[in-house]
Amino acid sequence: MHDTLRPPLVFCSPLRYVQGPGLSRRLAAEMQAVGLEGPVLISAGNTAIASLAPAWAASFAEAGWAHRVLAFGGESSRREIAAIAAEAAAFAARAIVGAGGGKTLDAARSAAASLRLPFVSCPTVCSTDAPTSALSVIYADEGPRRGSVESYEIHRRSPDLVLVDTRVIAESPPRLLAAGIGDALSTFYEARAAVAGGAANMRGGRSTLAALALARLCRDVVFEHGAAALAACRSRVVDDPLERVVEAATLLSGLGFESAGLAAAHAVHNGLTAIPATHHLLHGEKVAFGTLVHLMLEANRSPADATRAEAAAEARRVAAFLVGIGLPVTLGELCIDATDTGAVAAIADRATAPGETIHGMPFPVDAAGVVAAIAAADAVGRAARGNQPS
């Protein structure tokens, strides 16, 4: 008797995760703790370079390692990835560090993968759950699709080290932390749907119980401590709520989405990137609205009455929370005219493209269903705003 062939349970994570105030000064020591060696290329955003270059220099000097800092070009595109890889090869780097926001990390991660070098993730903002994953989002940087999502790359290795300096996070713009909370809030709802739909996670396997539990914990921590963490960020204070939310939005959300799976919210984000008017918005701001669309898809399309009612109630809860932390909940707040049927149709078409994560929902989803869910999510958002025009 043969076992039925099923994909294996797969759980992936970084080799080491460290979080706390002032850790940038310990970068080389933490790299040594996982067996890495210099020389080291750091690909970093300009803001990160301005504030952290002295700490990096002191850290690597103590280790006796050569290092070089390369300013990130601004887009996680194939051209930028090739430039980072070329610089690392010319420097004979033994490891690549990405320091900055999600796009900075994604490009550095892809460059390291192309050279088969260890990768170290040093997020300087808490705006996405990208730091812990083996996933890079690639954006077009020229032509009519400039600024839109081109593809995902799943690399063979997870980061060797994720180092989160919460002093740096506390001094970052609160808008970025709010976006990270928006990204994190989607994690459980997408994980739950992907598991229910039998969809593969981002590493091609089935979700473990641990991944789904971490995704649920992420949601609960964000709901409980999100507002207080934002208050701490506005005051530039590292306190317990900030530490908890940074861990939730970085570690718990990263492990949850990668090892449990994505579904509609991130597909809607990708649809929104097809609209040029949204390009100035942050990833987590678009995902926040995508979460409302995800829940309204469940409210509209789930076969069970109880599930539909629960999803509608949860959408109202999420919308109220998002309003409270200043994230967009309506099309107008995303700079999209709700009466522009062409724009809404373009979002839905891109969100339901073949291979998109929306097809991991536990029921069939088509563009017409997404159009209806977008309208329903916009209505929920308007109600949360007190029926005031957005």
119-123 and 135-139 beta bridge pairing = unpaired
CA 293 to each of CA 143, 144, 265, 308, 380: distance values in angstroms, whole numbers, following the listed order: 29, 26, 7, 13, 10
Identify the pLDDT of residue 150. Answer: 80
CATH architecture of 17-170: 3-Layer(aba) Sandwich (3.40)
Q: Please, which pLDDT band fits residue 4 given cuts at 50, 70 and 90? A: low
Identify the pLDDT of residue 141. Answer: 78
Identify the pLDDT of residue 390. Answer: 45
DSSP 161: E
Mean per-residue pLDDT, 226-231: 98
| Angle separating helix axes 367-384 and 283-301, nearest 10 degrees | 110
Asked about 266 being catalytic, the answer comes back as yes
* Active-site pick, 67, 225, 266, 294: 266
CA dihedral 37, 115, 24, 218 (to 10 degrees): -120
Q: For residues 101 and 123, is the Cβ–Cβ distance under 8 A?
A: yes
17-170 and 174-384 agree in CATH topology: no
Mean per-residue pLDDT, 225-231: 98
Residue with more model confidence, 153 or 96: 96
pLDDT of 221 > 50? The answer is yes
Mean per-residue pLDDT, 325-345: 96
* Active-site pick, 106, 269, 294, 378: 269
The amino acid occupying position 72 is: F
Q: What is the DSSP string of 222-285?
A: HHHHHHHHHHHHHTT---HHHHHHHHIIIIIHHHHHHHH---HHHHHHHHHTTSGGGTTS-HHH
CA distance 213 to 332: 34
Handedness of CA 115, 116, 117, 122 (dihedral sign): positive
Give tens-digit pLDDT for 252-309: 999 999 999 999 999 999 999 999 999 999 999 999 999 999 999 999 988 777 788 9
387's tokens: 């029926």
* Active-site pick, 160, 165, 225, 283: 283
322's tokens: 């998002």
What's the pTM?
0.92
Give tens-digit pLDDT for 365-383: 999 999 999 999 999 999 9
Identify the pLDDT of residue 147. Answer: 67
CA distance 88 to 83: 9
Q: What are phi and psi of 232, to 5 degrees?
A: -65, -40
pLDDT of 58 > 90? The answer is yes
CA 159 to each of CA 156, 188, 265: distance values in angstroms, whole numbers, following the listed order: 10, 22, 25
Average pLDDT over the chain, rounded to an integer: 94
Give tens-digit pLDDT for 162-172: 999 999 999 99
pLDDT of 389 > 50? The answer is no
CA 265 to each of CA 114, 194, 272, 352: distance values in angstroms, whole numbers, following the listed order: 29, 11, 11, 11
Mean per-residue pLDDT, 46-64: 96
Identify the pLDDT of residue 206. Answer: 95
Give tens-digit pLDDT for 98-152: 999 989 999 999 999 999 999 999 999 999 898 999 989 898 877 666 767 788 7
Asked about 225 being catalytic, the answer comes back as no
Asked about 294 being catalytic, the answer comes back as no
Give tens-digit pLDDT for 60-93: 999 999 999 999 998 889 999 999 999 999 999 9
* Active-site pick, 183, 225, 294, 378: 183
Residue-range domain boundaries for the chain: 17-170, 174-384
pLDDT of 388 > 70? The answer is no
pLDDT of 174 > 80? The answer is yes
CATH fold label, 174-384: Dehydroquinate synthase-like, alpha domain (1.20.1090)
List Cβ neighbours of 61 (8 Å cut-off, separation of 6 or more).
Answer: none
Q: Please, which pLDDT band fits residue 2 given cuts at 50, 70 and 90? A: low
